[in-house]
Amino acid sequence: MALTSGLGGQLSIDLGALARNWRALDKVSAGALTGAVVKADAYGTGITMASKALHAAGARFFFAATPDEGMAVRAAVPDAHIFILNGLYPGAANLYVRQNLMPIISSMAMLEEWLAKCLERNEAYPSAFHFDTGMNRLGFRLNEAALVRERIQALGYAPQMVMSHLACADTPNHEKNRTQLALFGSVMTQFPGIPASLANSAGLMTGRDYHFQMVRPGIALYGGRAVNGRKNPMAPVVTLHVPIMQVKEARTGESVGYGAAQSLARDSRLAILSHGYADGFFRSLSGSNTRPGAKVAIRGKLCPVIGRVSMDQVTVDITELGPDNIPSPGEGAEILGDIVGVDDLADAGGTIGYEILTSLKGRYSRNYVGDGNLPPG
């Protein structure tokens, strides 16, 4: 772990909230197993600590994107069942076997390499199969289902699970959801008796028709919004506070930041924060003369970003705090927390909460709260 002075941003990850979110989703998915997606460093929260907390909460099935992520989960949670979403990397079968990682196989080339390893060792190493029902990302084509079935039947092999992925589950009424559900059902007729998985966070919340035997929540675990147009029921997991470095007065007509993109319409009081795009605060959160910037919270009040976000600094208009409520250098500004949610910041930057969370790689001190151990319930 890199040494820090503790003077920069303070990133706090509430492992108790993470555990409560998993428990809440597990109740919604009653009748299906509830996995935990921990890819992208557990959505920026830290894959080691997050995996331990999720395991303490009850999760036993983990989904990582890459073998390296899978190895990190294995080190953190030795008894975990770990699926690798990106599948079998060419030539890496021995690594998967050594680490007891299950590739989610999505092509005939992957399948043949994995079956060859099984034959070589005379061992039916576990895997899952992914069928593409409409995203055109990873996955067997639907017309390959019979070929896949015939190939594995000839060897007496069976996958642990067959899965697909929803493209539009964040919009529950989107016709694509029902189309994919029907196509996935047609695939499963080729694999009777094999557990199935279709639902991500949004799919889990869309309805039990999508649950099958395993659900795979990701963003909802970490407090992000999974379904558009609905109140987010999940507890926030991440808070981020950064220090104010300077407070200064500026005059009407003066410009702020690179490119003189925003000029002040009044005499203003500005706070300069030690935070910037190098810390995951995107330039799309900038303010200009034609669009407002994102908002951060200082002393409990929302204050707008003024001018372009720099690599290391953000300027915020704190005029509305009033002359008797001026913060001092060293005080914290809330970037994420009780007032500014992950999706509030994402909406302001024209992106999604996933991108905000997975960009939390900045110059912060990380602080973990709790450990995921909760009373039974």
* pLDDT above 70 as % of the chain: 97
Query: Does residue 177 register a pLDDT over 70?
Result: yes
Distance CA 1, CA 11 (A): 15
* Mean pLDDT, residues 239-249 taken together: 97
Instruction: Name the CA radius of gyration of the chain, rounded.
Output: 24
- Cβ-proximal residues to 102 (8 Å cutoff; 6+ apart), any chain: 81, 82, 83, 84, 96, 126, 127, 128, 160
Query: Does residue 158 register a pLDDT over 50?
Result: yes
The band of 20, judged by pLDDT with boundaries at 50, 70 and 90, is very high
Query: Does residue 63 register a pLDDT over 60?
Result: yes
Query: Does residue 86 register a pLDDT over 80?
Result: yes
* Mean pLDDT, residues 124-131 taken together: 98
Domains of the chain: 15-222 (3.20.20.10), 238-340 (2.40.37.10)
Distance CA 226, CA 38 (A): 16
The pLDDT value given to residue 377? 43
Cα atoms found within 13 Å of the Cα of residue 267, Cβ hemisphere only: 3
5 vs 329, more confident: 329
CB 369 within 8 A of CB 16: yes
**pTM of the shown model:** 0.94
Q: Which residue, chain included where needed, has tokens 């690594």?
A: 95
> Beta strand pairing status for 81-84 and 101-105?
parallel
Distance CA 190, CA 148 (A): 9
Query: Does residue 92 register a pLDDT over 80?
Result: yes
CB 273 within 8 A of CB 10: no
Give just the sign of the alpha carbon dihedral 251, 252, 254, 257: positive
The band of 46, judged by pLDDT with boundaries at 50, 70 and 90, is very high
The pLDDT value given to residue 29? 93
1-10, 122-131, 230-239, 254-263: the lowest-pLDDT one = 1-10
Torsion of CA 66, 164, 140, 87, to 10 degrees: 10
The pLDDT value given to residue 7? 78
Torsion of CA 81, 86, 89, 92, to 10 degrees: -10
Distance spanning both ends of the chain, measured CA to CA: 35
The pLDDT value given to residue 3? 57
* Mean pLDDT, residues 55-84 taken together: 98
Q: Quick check: helix, strand or coil at residue 137?
A: coil
61-65, 133-137, 293-297, 362-366: the lowest-pLDDT one = 362-366
Query: Does residue 100 register a pLDDT over 60?
Result: yes
Q: What is the mean pLDDT of the chain?
A: 95
The band of 315, judged by pLDDT with boundaries at 50, 70 and 90, is very high
CB 127 within 8 A of CB 141: no
Of 88, 356, 70, nearest to 237 by C-alpha is: 356
- Cβ-proximal residues to 235 (8 Å cutoff; 6+ apart), any chain: 14, 17, 20, 21, 223
Cα atoms found within 13 Å of the Cα of residue 47, Cβ hemisphere only: 22
The pLDDT value given to residue 376? 47
Return the DSSP state at 234: S
- Maximum C-alpha span of the chain: 79
Torsion of CA 118, 80, 83, 357, to 10 degrees: -160
Where in the sequence numbering do the catalytic residues fall?
Answer: 39, 258
Tokens for 250, please give them.
């500026």
Query: Does residue 110 register a pLDDT over 50?
Result: yes
The pLDDT value given to residue 372? 65
* Mean pLDDT, residues 323-337 taken together: 96
Distance CA 311, CA 286 (A): 12
Query: Does residue 102 register a pLDDT over 70?
Result: yes
Query: Does residue 256 register a pLDDT over 80?
Result: yes
The band of 172, judged by pLDDT with boundaries at 50, 70 and 90, is very high
